[in-house]
């Protein structure tokens, strides 16, 4: 069933630009870009059991790397996107190395500091980052194509690639060892995978996905600025992950991306109560996932058993 839903989702997304244009197409492209960033949070939660509320830092790394490479060195976008992912991995490792012994609330506080520092760091190095105004990204991939279609299909291709890589990683030797290190650290250590090594690997891969999401986001918006990578943006990524029930399937990631990209537009008239609504959605989704869904599953089993 999951495979059919995933294939169906991809097919719908492939033909969707035929029926939508203008701002709606732009919104759908943002949905796909944010979906990739949410996927980086979900990956970290599922494989390490830890929560990052500083993921905006790694997303900003990918976005600004693309912008700076394009503006300062004229690097073609696809090449700069690969470089941005590599830089995001290095930044993830730089953070994970000193914090690999932390877990739970202590690691969350460390990522909180990272998320809060991101906008200020971008403003501090304004000579390179463009300060408050940010940097423009004037790039195309196929000049004969309309730019909005290039942005949409690049975001879709990047999302499909990220989901596929995670799916393959799940059944790889490294992926299985990381999952074992999470649940049974002593057993994993006997095979050479310590909890610290698992933490480094997980953060590096999560940062890579976040950097890819940032690069796609920058290409979609054609500019990057500190206002796009505030701590609040990191919170919305976490909420999106919860809303999708930490799904790494493409349909779940699309739901998460839709929540992150489209909800601000729907709540734009609610002003200061917007955070309250986000909090209510987060609480409701958490309760539904941990209480409602198991209760429904038990009810279905009881009814099925009663008919046997």
Q: Note whether 238 and 89 are same-domain residues.
A: yes
Domains: count for the chain: 2
Q: Note whether 204 and 76 are same-domain residues.
A: yes
| pLDDT confidence tier of residue 103, bands split at 50, 70 and 90 | confident
| Residue appearing with tokens 């520092």 | 117
Q: Note whether 79 and 113 are same-domain residues.
A: yes
pLDDT at 307 over 70: no
> Alpha-carbon dihedral of residues 149, 155, 157, 160, nearest 10 degrees?
-140
Count the Cβ atoms, other than its own, within 10 Å of residue 201. Answer: 22
pLDDT at 290 over 70: no
State how far the alpha carbon of 251 is from the alpha carbons of 19, 56, 248, 300, in Å. Answer: 20, 23, 8, 24
pLDDT at 293 over 60: no
Q: Note whether 297 and 158 are same-domain residues.
A: no
Q: What is the pLDDT of residue 98?
A: 84
Q: Note whether 28 and 166 are same-domain residues.
A: yes
Average pLDDT, the chain: 85
Q: What is the pLDDT of residue 79?
A: 94
- Give me the DSSP letters along the chain: -HHHHHHHHHHHHHHGGGT--HHHHHHHHHHHHHHHHHHHHHHHHHHH----S-HHHHHHHHHHHHHHHHHHH---HHHHHHHHHHHHHHHHHHHHHHHTT--THHHHHHHHHHHHHHHHHHHHTHHHH-TTT-EE----S-TTS-HHHHHHHHHHHHHHHHHHHHHHHHTSHHHHHHHHHHH-HHHHHHTT--HHHHHHHHHHHHHHHHHHHHHHHHHHHSEE-GGGG-HHHHHHHHHHHHHTTS--SHHHHHHHHHHHHHHHHHTTTSGGGHHHHHHHHHHHHHHIIIIIHHHHHHHHHHHHHHT-
| pLDDT confidence tier of residue 273, bands split at 50, 70 and 90 | confident
Closest to 91 in 3D by CA, of 218, 204, 226, 234: 204
Q: Note whether 220 and 307 are same-domain residues.
A: no
Write out pLDDT tens, residues 12-42: 999 998 888 888 899 999 999 999 999 999 9
Q: Note whether 125 and 227 are same-domain residues.
A: yes
What is the CB-side half-sphere exposure of residue 212 using CA atoms within 13 A?
A: 25
Q: Note whether 251 and 278 are same-domain residues.
A: no
State how far the alpha carbon of 148 is from the alpha carbons of 138, 165, 225, in Å. Answer: 13, 26, 20
Length reported for the chain: 308
Q: Note whether 256 and 296 are same-domain residues.
A: no
pLDDT at 62 over 90: yes
φ and ψ of 54, to 5 deg:
-130, 25
Q: Which residue has the higher pLDDT, 62 or 175?
A: 62
Q: What is the pLDDT of residue 299?
A: 67
How far is the C-alpha of 260 from the C-alpha of 238, rounded, in Å? 9
Segments forming the whole domain that contains residue 279? 273-308
Q: Note whether 99 and 220 are same-domain residues.
A: yes
**CATH number of the structural domain spanning residue 258:** 1.10.3470
Q: Note whether 13 and 138 are same-domain residues.
A: yes
Q: Note whether 215 and 307 are same-domain residues.
A: no
Count the Cβ atoms, other than its own, within 10 Å of residue 4. Answer: 8
């Amino acid at each position: 069933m999951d495979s059919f839903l995933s294939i169906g989702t991809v097919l719908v997304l492939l033909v969707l630009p035929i029926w939508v244009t203008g701002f709606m197409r732009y919104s759908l492209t943002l949905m796909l870009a944010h979906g990739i960033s949410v996927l980086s949070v979900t990956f970290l939660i599922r494989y390490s059991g830890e929560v990052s509320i500083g993921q905006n830092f790694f997303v900003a790394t990918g976005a600004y790397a693309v912008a700076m490479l394009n503006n300062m060195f004229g690097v073609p976008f696809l090449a700069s996107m690969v470089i941005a992912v590599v830089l995001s991995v290095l930044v993830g490792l730089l953070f994970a190395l000193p914090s690999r012994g932390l877990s739970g609330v202590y690691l969350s506080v460390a990522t909180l500091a990272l998320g809060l520092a991101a906008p200020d760091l971008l403003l501090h190095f304004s000579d390179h980052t463009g300060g408050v105004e940010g940097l423009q990204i004037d790039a195309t991939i196929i000049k004969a194509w309309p730019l909005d279609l290039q942005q949409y299909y690049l975001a879709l291709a990047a999302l499909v690639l990220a989901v596929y890589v995670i799916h393959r990683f799940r059944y790889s030797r490294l992926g299985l060892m990381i999952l074992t290190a999470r649940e049974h650290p002593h057993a994993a250590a006997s095979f050479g995978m310590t909890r610290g090594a698992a933490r480094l690997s997980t953060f590096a891969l999560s940062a890579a996905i976040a950097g890819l999401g940032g690069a796609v986001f920058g290409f979609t918006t054609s500019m990057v600025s500190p206002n796009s990578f505030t701590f609040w943006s990191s919170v919305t990524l976490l909420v999106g992950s919860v809303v999708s029930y930490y799904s790494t399937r493409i349909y779940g990631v699309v739901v998460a991306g839709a929540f992150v990209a489209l909800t601000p537009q729907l709540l734009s008239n609610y002003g200061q109560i917007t955070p309250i609504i986000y909090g209510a959605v987060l609480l409701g989704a958490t309760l539904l996932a941990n209480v409602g869904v198991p209760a429904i599953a038990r009810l279905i089993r009881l009814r099925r058993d009663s008919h046997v």
